[in-house]
């Protein structure tokens, strides 16, 4: 079988499908806020446009007659199966600020992962304790000394950053699986006043996850730390699984189109289930089902993390105060 055996660092382009250009802005997160007129409903729509457009694009690629197979993450494969290259060590060091999901979201992800295994039994699943959403990536794939130097520079600002979510509470809703030939993620969109939880007002939703990312970027730039993120696309997602084997999706040395189709169908079925069970219902009084929303900073504040952390590993510099 001819497979696209790319490492995670180069398998996919981080293309923005929201229709917004960040080129004219010093802080790239300001672009979407301005284009959306700082309107939460429009901003949410841009996030949703990005993920639905991307899913449609990826569905077309996977179901195309010329699809060459899933992209195997060669680094993760070697870390997972020590017999492939004994003694292998991931050479990539990174510096990030992660948002850690509360237990209710982790429980939902566990259910989603089990549903996905029915169509992709060899899928590598992100461990529950490693689940994270990257609020801001400072840099990636650097050497250890380079990252440690950046850590020293940013250290005075870390307490402010890590505890930022304690007073700035961005709410995320409408979980949906996003996918491509390399990995699967559970994404959310910024809330815009739907099915408000007790004690929260519509005005509280005016500060969105995108505003949070903008503010974190600004704090870092003011601390003379250059932000070199791989992407600034409007996405709030947690990677939940990656492909490390082609065996389930091949037959007699060729792509098994029926099994690939089954995977896509399963993803779409799970997304319908998520929408039916975990999304707000327009005009309804009911609260969002537990796990279907997430106020960033619940249980844990932001996690300043450095090291070999592509798959949820690494070391915590400081963990912010949760609520």
Strands, sheet with 293-295, edge to edge from the N-terminal-most edge strand = 124-125, 236-242, 183-190, 171-179, 293-295
Q: Would you place residue 185 in the very low, low, confident or very high pLDDT band (cuts 50, 70, 90)? A: very high
The DSSP letter of residue 154 is H
**12 lies in a domain?**
no
Q: How many domains does the chain have?
A: 1
Q: Classify the C-alpha dihedral 108-109-113-115 as positive or negative.
A: positive
Q: Would you place residue 8 in the very low, low, confident or very high pLDDT band (cuts 50, 70, 90)? A: very low
Question: Could you give phi then psi for residue 238, rounded to 5 degrees?
Answer: -120, 125
pLDDT in tens, 269-299: 999 999 999 999 876 666 789 999 999 999 9
pLDDT in tens, 41-55: 999 999 999 999 999
The continuous run of DSSP H or E covering 317 comes out as strand 315-319
CA distance linking residue 297 with residue 16, whole number of Å: 26
Q: Would you place residue 231 in the very low, low, confident or very high pLDDT band (cuts 50, 70, 90)? A: confident
**5 lies in a domain?**
no
**20 lies in a domain?**
no
Segments forming the whole domain that contains residue 197 = 29-319
Burial class (CB in 10 A: 0-12, 13-18, 19+), 3: middle
Q: Nearest 5°: CA angle at 177, between 175 and 181? A: 160
Q: Would you place residue 9 in the very low, low, confident or very high pLDDT band (cuts 50, 70, 90)? A: very low
**46 lies in a domain?**
yes
Are the C-beta atoms of residues 311 and 79 closer than 8 Å to each other?
yes
Q: Looking at residue 133, which CATH number applies to its domain? A: 3.90.1140.10
**15 lies in a domain?**
no
Percent of the chain having pLDDT more than 70? 92
Gyration radius from the chain CA atoms: 20
**24 lies in a domain?**
no
Task: Name beta bridge partners: 242.
Answer: 124, 183
Q: CA nearest 97: which of 240, 209, 243, 246? A: 209
**10 lies in a domain?**
no
SS3 track for 221-259: HHCCCCCCCCCCCCCEEEEEEECCCCHHHEECCEECHHH
Max CA separation in the chain (angstroms): 58
Q: Would you place residue 60 in the very low, low, confident or very high pLDDT band (cuts 50, 70, 90)? A: very high
CA distance linking residue 153 with residue 42, whole number of Å: 37
CA distance linking residue 313 with residue 131, whole number of Å: 10
**225 lies in a domain?**
yes
Report helix, strand or coil for 190: strand
CA distances from 320 to 104, 159, 222, 282 (A): 19, 7, 20, 34
Q: Would you place residue 105 in the very low, low, confident or very high pLDDT band (cuts 50, 70, 90)? A: very high
Q: CA nearest 241: which of 99, 113, 135, 61? A: 113
């Amino acid at each position: 079988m001819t497979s696209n055996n790319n490492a995670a660092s180069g398998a996919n382009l981080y293309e923005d499908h929201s229709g917004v250009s960040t080129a004219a802005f010093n802080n790239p997160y300001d672009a979407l806020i301005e284009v959306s007129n700082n309107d939460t409903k429009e901003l949410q729509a841009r996030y949703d446009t990005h993920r639905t457009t991307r899913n449609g694009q990826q569905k077309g690629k996977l179901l195309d007659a010329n699809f060459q197979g899933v992209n195997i993450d060669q680094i993760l494969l070697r870390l997972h199966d020590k017999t492939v290259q004994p003694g292998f060590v991931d050479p990539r060091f990174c510096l990030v600020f992660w948002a850690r999901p509360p237990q209710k979201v982790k429980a939902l992800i566990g259910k989603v992962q089990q549903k996905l295994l029915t169509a992709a039994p060899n899928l590598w699943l992100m461990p529950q304790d490693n689940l994270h959403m990257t609020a801001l990536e400072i840099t990636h794939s650097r050497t250890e000394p380079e990252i440690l130097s950046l850590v020293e520079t940013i250290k005075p600002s870390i307490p402010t950053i890590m505890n930022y979510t304690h007073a700035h509470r961005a709410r995320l809703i409408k979980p949906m699986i996003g996918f491509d030939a390399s990995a699967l993620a559970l994404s959310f969109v910024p809330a815009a006043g739907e099915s408000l939880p007790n004690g929260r007002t519509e005005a509280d939703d005016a500060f969105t996850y995108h505003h949070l990312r903008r503010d974190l970027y600004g704090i870092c730039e003011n601390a003379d730390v250059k932000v070199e993120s791989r992407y600034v696309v409007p996405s709030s997602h947690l990677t939940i699984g990656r492909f490390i084997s082609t065996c389930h999706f091949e037959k007699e040395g060729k792509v098994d189109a029926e099994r690939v189709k089954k995977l896509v169908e399963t993803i779409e079925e799970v997304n319908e289930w998520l929408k039916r069970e975990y999304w707000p219902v327009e005009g309804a009084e009911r609260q969002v089902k537990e796990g279907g929303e997430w106020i960033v900073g619940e249980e844990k504040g932001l996690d300043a993390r450095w090291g070999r952390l592509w798959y949820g590993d690494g070391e915590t510099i400081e963990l912010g105060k949760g609520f």
